[in-house]
A and B are shown apart, each in its own frame.
Chain A
Amino acid sequence: QKEVEQNSGPLSVPEGAIASLNCTYSDRGSQSFFWYRQYSGKSPELIMSIYSNGDKEDGRFTAQLNKASQYVSLLIRDSQPSDSATYLCAVNDRSAGKSTFGDGTTLTVKP
């Protein structure tokens, strides 16, 4: 079992819809969770971080964390074609603080 698992996709949604991206992790003691966006040919960039159970909203993005279920998700409301990218989930381990990345989910938003 991978330490961080994501649906590989691809995920396709129409413009204006809600895109839902999911991630599960294996280390129950993990404390920090991040979502990165990577456009084709570019480096990953941070879009959301979450540390506590519940929801965290930033503009059109909402991160959700459920530590009991070892599950973190990213919702993108009013999806735009410019949101088309690969989304990477990262989880930091409790001891060394090292980020472990999932393989990413590729999202396509169709006009």
Chain B
Amino acid sequence: GAGVSQSPSNKVTEKGKDVELRCDPISGHTALYWYRQSLGQGLEFLIYFQGNSAPDKSGLPSDRFSAERTGGSVSTLTIQRTQQEDSAVYLCASSLGYNTEAFFGQGTRLTVV
């Protein structure tokens, strides 16, 4: 079956521009995560969606970052007024529900120039 799909795979943007990153989770998975990973670093938690519950936004680094999940499925992470420090790989993951493993997409490599 299809795994977690992220688009685009790579994105180069100019400083100050807005970007949207998309994640299509595995069908039926109620939980969805966004993480950020800079080169050689660990996973930085950004946001967690679980079913119809209010999302856990505690990891969003600034108000330039936002995410939504429509219809309990596709999610979009939006970064406004991008900065060079936003350059990283953005990973999306989904899981079937509580206490289950996460499956990761291939990531979106964002480069802000």
Contacts and interface: CB of A to CB of B under 8 A. Distances in A.
A43 B50 contact: no
B106 interface: yes
B43 A44 contact: yes
Interface residues of B, number: 25
Contacts of A51: 99
Give the size range of A's interface with the partner: 20 to 34
B33 interface: yes
Interface stretch (B17-25, B62-70, B79-87, B90-98): B90-98
Interface of A: 31-32, 34, 43-46, 49, 51, 88, 90, 92, 96-104
Interface of B: 31, 33, 35, 41-43, 45, 48, 50, 53, 56, 91, 93, 95, 97-107
